[in-house]
């Protein structure tokens, strides 16, 4: 998969060299290219922002540098057509489902902004020719879109074939469509069997696969109903068994 990021803070994307994403790059599974938006300015101060039409506080990112940057990046991969992901708090929520869809794409371009965001005409211009997704990583406002890009790239990269050591390890994650069908994952334990007087639940060391699976499902249901009752309400009733309903 190819990933391009256009930003005024290329150094903010350095964590993409680390850990799972870094290993995926080293293994040739991810081709990450970070571009400095200021390279596409032509004034002495490399200006990327200006005052908002209509007045109001803050600055807005100018369309010209974004247009030049995106044209250059797009031309470098033509005729392939990327999905362009625009991080913004006013976008649609980033979910595991969207991460899964993006993981099926061959090429993603991310446009993290600063200030009050990017001049709207840029979204319209590229939205007319490409699949442009405005995406929010949560109901809060950050200073810039670089951290959201790190979040989204990591969520997408771990779903790519060959990136996780064990291909099944995201199957039962929270939100995943696997055995837990959109529930949150329950608690997890490792050795030693007792730590500071706290024992691992007996069922987990019973070796009884049926009881372990039932316990995991009950814990997932309990945690979901405590922390995210909205997910239980959205659950497909057909995905619940009679023990779930009793719980
Ligand atoms: N005035 C904008 C608003 O209220 O929607 C907020 C702009 S924010 C200070 C600057 C940039 O940070 C955004 O354009 C976006 O790239 C990024 N950003 C901030 N919060 C975000 C979030 N929750 N999800 C995705 N991107 C976000």
Q: What is the pLDDT of residues 111-130, one digit of tens each?
A: 999 999 999 999 999 999 99
Which residues are identified as catalytic? Answer: 89, 116, 158, 173
Report yes or no: 93 and 136 within 8 Å, Cβ to Cβ: yes
Which residue puts its alpha carbon closest to atom 11 of ligand 1? 144
**Mean pLDDT on 143-159:** 97
CA dist 184 and 158 (Å) reads 18
By alpha-carbon position, which residue is closest to atom 23 of ligand 1? 89
pLDDT exceeds 70 at position 190:
yes
Distance 31 CA to ligand 1 centre (A): 26
User: pLDDT band at residue 167, thresholds of 50, 70 and 90?
Assistant: confident
Contact between 184 and 174 under an 8 Å Cβ cutoff? The reply is yes
Ligand 1 pocket, 139 CB below 6 A? no
Question: Can you list the domains of the chain with their CATH numbers?
Answer: 2-157 (3.40.1280.10), 172-247 (1.10.1270.20)
52 lines ligand 1 (CB under 6 A): no
What is the pLDDT confidence band of residue 172, given thresholds at 50, 70 and 90? confident
82 ligand 1 Cβ < 6 A: no
For residue 68, the CA-to-ligand 1 centroid distance in Å is 22
Asked if pLDDT for residue 107 goes beyond 90, the answer is yes
Question: Are β-strands 2-7 and 31-36 bridged in parallel, bridged antiparallel, or unpaired?
Answer: parallel
- CB of 137 closer than 6 angstroms to any ligand 1 atom: yes
What pTM value is reported for the model? 0.95
Q: Ligand 1 center to residue 143 CA distance, Å?
A: 7
pLDDT above 80 (res 79)? yes
- pLDDT score of 188: 97
pLDDT at 177: 75
Mutate to test the pocket of ligand 1, among 12, 59, 87, 91 (most ligand atoms within 8 A of CB): 87
Residues 6+ positions from 32 with CB-CB distance below 8 Å = 3, 4, 5, 13, 16, 21, 25, 153
Residue 42 to residues 38, 48, 83, 122, 200, Cα–Cα distance (Å): 9, 10, 27, 18, 63
């Amino acid at each position: 998969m190819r990933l391009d990021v256009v930003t005024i803070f290329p150094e903010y994307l350095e964590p993409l060299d680390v850990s799972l994403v870094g290993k995926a790059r080293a293994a040739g599974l991810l081709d990450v290219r970070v571009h400095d938006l200021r390279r596409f300015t032509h004034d002495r101060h490399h200006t990327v922002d200006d005052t908002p039409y209509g007045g109001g506080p803050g600055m807005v990112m100018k369309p010209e540098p974004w247009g030049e940057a995106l044209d250059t990046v797009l031309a470098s991969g033509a005729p392939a057509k990327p999905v362009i992901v625009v991080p913004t708090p006013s976008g649609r929520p980033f979910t595991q489902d969207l991460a899964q869809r993006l993981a099926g794409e061959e090429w993603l371009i991310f446009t993290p902004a600063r200030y009050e965001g990017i001049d709207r005409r840029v979204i319209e211009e590229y939205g007319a020719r490409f699949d442009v997704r405005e995406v929010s990583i949560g109901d809060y406002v950050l200073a810039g879109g670089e951290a959201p890009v790190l979040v989204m790239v990591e969520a997408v990269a771990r779903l790519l074939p060959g990136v996780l050591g064990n291909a099944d390890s995201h199957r039962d994650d929270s939100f995943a469509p696997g055995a837990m069908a959109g529930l949150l994952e329950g608690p997890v334990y490792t050795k030693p069997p007792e730590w500071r007087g706290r024992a691992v639940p007996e069922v987990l060391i019973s070796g009884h696969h049926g009881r372990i699976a039932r316990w995991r499902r009950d814990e997932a249901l309990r945690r979901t109903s405590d922390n995210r009752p909205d997910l239980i309400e959205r659950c497909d009733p057909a995905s619940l068994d009679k023990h779930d309903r009793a719980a």
